[in-house]
Every structure is written in structure tokens, then in C-alpha cells.
């Protein structure tokens, strides 16, 4: 292109020498040539920006972590010191010891109620709206709004049996209820009776106090164990976690991350090791180190319900063999969003291994918060904790008074 322009300009210059105007025209021609060159440069730069060179990518084979370095048959991964790198497991057969670390800071009590109200917002909005609608154009109870109240309780997943009990109590006290405010007050009173009729968790006396955590996969069991460890650490207790879910892929790695966040130590074996052996060694380590709280994770899914229950029974026997009377608590983790399926799971686990208490998770993601009332009424088991968010401090010790206030 430039060669053609040069030839053209040269011939044009020779022809103009005869006219005498060549100086003026030469200046204009040079200016035109520079303009063309500038346009060409700009065009090339825009093209380069539109089609940038491909970025160099790392070879996956070089970045992928290998699984050849299995953890030792028994090792402990301690929680990290603040502002320091996480201590890695030593060679096969070796143990590492946790360094002293600052205890986690417990959340402010004033913020707990706020989180509870926020977490139960969906349930409160749905239930309160339906109760208001039941008295939209009347201030007395009749067949129509009784059906609407019944529907509101069932929709909140209070459960059919508990709902019918509450409806019976409302009908028996209809003269005292003349509007939504009186109805809410009455329901609060009746729900308090449900929780007060359930035995509350006994205070911790044994050291180590062994807690066996059970539940099906997908309910947030591993996450709950990490948050439970955090709660114990905030109380000043030393915590040791046993990774006895040895068959689920990446279960140990996931639990290790949560243990480190909670500043708790963890005992783990090789993948596919007998879970009962992990539980035994964890309790043994807890005794030798004078640990305050020992938490045992367990599998949540095997080929059949029978196989799962038999494995859990074996773990429970193994713990008791090392420390008579343990586990002191068997806590069942349930997903509140599953509603009445959670009640079915509670019955299955309680019949299989004997559950001592419940933890309900994901209450912040459902309008079915009434399951807390229904499951407590049906199972007569205390609820130890409820999950109302994803943060560490969002696993709350269950307070039925605060729960009822947040529900309405």
C-alpha cells in the first residue's frame, strides 16, 4: 500500500513541476500521506485489542493435587494459630500437637435475637399473614376462619397431629379470642406448653464429654459440627473432632477445614477405614489430652437403612468400650426445609440408635419453621441448636421463648 502511494506521489510531483504549483501541492500531499498512515496505525491497534493473544494456561497435570500422599493411619490435624500457616500432618504414624490459639470471640447476645428474627422471617411473614387474613372481615371465630387457621398452621409445617391439638384448644377457648392479636397470644401460650413438656438437656459433667452427631447426607451435618465446635470453643472448652465419615468423598477434607475455622483439633484415619476405629481413637486421644468436648462425625448414607443403623450402633459401642457411659449425647441433625420428612428421619434414627437431642438447620431458608414445634411435640426430644444462617455464629442454642417471639 505504501509503495503504491509513493509511486503515485512521485509521478504527480513530476507533472506538477511544469505547472509551478508543485510546492503548495507537495505540502498538501504530504499531509494527506501522514493522515493515511495514522488511520492505518489506529486500525491495526483496534484489531489487536479485539483479538488479544491467548493467555498462557497452567498445565492441569502440574496444578492438580495428587492423592498419593494419604494421611497417616492415625494422625491429628490441629487448629491453626492466628496469623500463621496451618500446620500440616506429619509423616505416617506421626502426631502433631496443636499450638495455643486465641479462643474465638462469642457473638454479642443482643445480636442473637436479631439473627433469629431474620432467620425466621419467611415463616413469620407467612404465618402472620394467614392469621391476619382469617380475621379480615370479622372479630369472632367461626367455621370458616377456623379452617383458615388450620391451613395456616399446616402450611407452616407444624404437623397434622400438633395442628389438630392446637385447633382443639382454640375451639375450647373461642370466647377469649376475638381477633388476630388474641389468637397470636393464645398460640404462643400453647406452644410454650409443648416445649415445657420436653425434658431439657442435662448440664455437661463428664470430661471428656462425648457428642455423637448423626443425620442423613445433605442436612448440613459437617457444617453443623464445625459450628458446634465453634460454640464450645467460645465457651472456653477444648474441642477434638473425630472424622468417622470415612467413605464419603472429601468428607475428611471438608471437616478439617471447618475444624480449623473453629480452632478445634481433628483426628482422621485413611479413607475407607472402619469408622468405629476412628471413634475409638478419637475418644482415646480426648482422654489422654484431657479434652473437654469430643465430637464424633458419622456417615449419613449407606446402601440400605439397615446398614447405616448397624454402622452407627457399632460406632456407639466402640465409644462406650473406651469410655463407659459415652457417648453422653447423640444429636440428630435435621434439615428444616424438608418439613415432615425431617420428622420421619427423627423417628428412624431414634428407633435405630436412641437420639438424645435435635439440631435443626436451614431455618432461615424456609417458611416451614413450624416444624420445630411439630417435631418437638411428636418426638418429645429436646432441641439443642437451630441454624438460622451460614455464618459460624448462626448456629444458635435453642431458646423456646426467643423462638416463639421470633415466630410471631
- Residue 366 in marked binding region: no
Each residue's pLDDT tens digit, 50-104: 444 433 333 333 333 333 334 444 455 554 443 333 333 333 333 433 434 455 5
- Residue 220 in marked binding region: yes
Each residue's pLDDT tens digit, 194-235: 999 887 777 777 789 999 999 999 999 999 999 999 999 999
- Residue 363 in marked binding region: yes
Task: Indicate the average pLDDT of the chain.
Answer: 81
Looking at 4-18, 172-186, 332-346, which range is the least confident one? 4-18
- Residue 299 in marked binding region: yes
Regarding predicted confidence, which is higher, 343 or 54?
343
Each residue's pLDDT tens digit, 8-24: 666 666 665 656 655 66
Asked if the model's pLDDT at residue 273 lies above 70, the reply is yes
- Residue 66 in marked binding region: no
Asked if the model's pLDDT at residue 286 lies above 70, the reply is yes
Residue 48's pLDDT band (cuts 50, 70, 90): low
- Residue 197 in marked binding region: no
- Residue 362 in marked binding region: yes
Q: What is the pLDDT of residue 17?
A: 61
Asked if the model's pLDDT at residue 299 lies above 60, the reply is yes
- Residue 361 in marked binding region: yes
First to last CA, the chain: 81
Average pLDDT over residues 312-324: 97
- Residue 298 in marked binding region: yes
- Residue 216 in marked binding region: yes
- Residue 301 in marked binding region: yes
Name the pTM for this structure.
0.72
- Residue 79 in marked binding region: no
Question: If you ran DSSP here, which 8-state letter would residue 359 be given?
Answer: E
* E strand segments, 269-311: 293-297
- Residue 6 in marked binding region: no
Answer yes or no: are the C-beta atoms of 275 and 315 closer than 8 Å: yes
* E strand segments, 109-217: 209-214
- Residue 341 in marked binding region: no
- Long-range contacts: 169-177, Cβ < 8 Å, 24+? 170/141, 170/146, 171/141, 171/146, 174/141, 177/141
Looking at 80-94, 279-293, 338-352, which range is the least confident one? 80-94
- Residue 217 in marked binding region: yes
Regarding predicted confidence, which is higher, 204 or 310?
310
Amino acid at each position: 500500500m505504501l509503495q503504491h502511494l509513493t509511486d503515485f506521489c512521485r509521478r504527480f510531483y513530476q507533472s506538477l513541476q511544469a505547472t509551478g504549483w508543485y510546492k503548495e501541492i507537495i505540502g498538501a500531499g504530504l499531509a494527506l500521506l501522514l493522515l493515511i498512515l495514522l488511520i492505518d496505525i489506529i486500525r491495526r491497534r483496534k484489531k489487536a485489542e479485539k483479538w488479544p493473544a491467548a493467555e498462557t494456561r497452567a498445565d492441569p497435570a502440574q496444578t492438580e493435587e495428587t492423592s498419593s500422599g494419604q494421611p497417616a493411619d492415625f494422625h491429628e490435624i490441629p487448629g491453626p494459630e492466628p496469623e500463621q500457616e496451618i500446620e500440616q500432618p506429619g509423616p505416617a504414624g506421626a502426631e502433631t500437637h496443636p499450638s495455643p490459639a486465641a479462643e474465638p470471640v462469642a457473638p454479642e447476645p443482643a445480636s442473637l435475637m436479631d439473627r433469629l428474627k431474620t432467620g425466621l422471617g419467611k415463616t413469620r411473614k407467612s404465618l402472620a399473614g394467614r392469621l391476619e387474613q382469617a380475621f379480615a372481615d370479622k372479630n369472632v371465630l367461626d367455621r370458616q376462619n377456623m379452617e383458615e387457621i388450620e391451613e395456616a398452621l399446616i402450611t407452616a409445617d407444624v404437623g397434622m397431629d400438633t395442628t389438630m391439638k392446637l385447633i382443639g384448644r382454640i375451639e375450647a377457648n373461642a370466647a377469649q379470642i376475638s381477633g388476630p392479636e388474641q389468637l397470636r397470644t393464645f398460640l404462643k401460650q400453647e406452644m410454650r406448653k409443648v416445649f415445657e413438656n420436653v425434658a431439657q438437656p442435662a448440664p455437661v459433667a463428664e470430661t471428656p464429654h462425648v457428642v455423637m452427631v448423626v443425620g442423613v447426607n445433605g442436612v448440613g451435618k459437617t457444617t453443623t459440627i464445625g459450628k458446634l465446635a465453634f460454640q464450645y470453643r467460645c465457651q472456653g472448652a477444648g474441642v477434638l473432632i473425630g472424622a468417622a465419615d470415612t467413605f464419603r468423598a472429601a468428607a475428611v477434607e471438608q471437616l478439617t477445614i471447618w475444624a480449623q475455622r473453629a480452632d478445634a483439633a481433628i483426628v482422621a484415619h485413611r479413607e475407607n477405614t472402619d469408622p468405629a476405629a476412628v471413634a475409638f481413637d478419637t475418644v482415646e486421644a480426648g482422654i489422654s489430652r484431657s479434652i473437654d468436648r469430643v465430637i464424633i462425625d458419622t456417615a449419613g448414607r449407606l446402601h440400605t437403612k439397615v446398614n447405616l443403623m448397624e454402622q452407627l450402633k457399632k460406632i456407639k459401642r466402640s465409644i462406650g468400650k473406651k469410655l463407659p457411659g459415652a457417648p453422653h449425647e447423640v444429636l440428630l441433625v435435621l434439615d428444616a426445609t424438608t418439613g415432615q420428612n425431617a420428622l420421619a428421619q427423627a423417628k428412624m434414627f431414634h428407633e435405630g440408635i436412641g437420639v438424645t437431642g435435635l439440631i435443626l438447620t436451614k431455618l432461615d431458608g424456609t417458611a416451614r419453621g413450624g416444624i420445630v414445634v411439630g417435631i418437638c411435640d411428636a418426638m418429645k426430644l429436646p432441641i439443642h441448636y437451630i441454624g438460622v444462617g451460614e455464618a459460624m455464629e448462626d448456629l444458635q442454642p435453642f431458646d423456646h421463648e426467643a423462638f416463639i417471639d421470633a415466630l410471631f
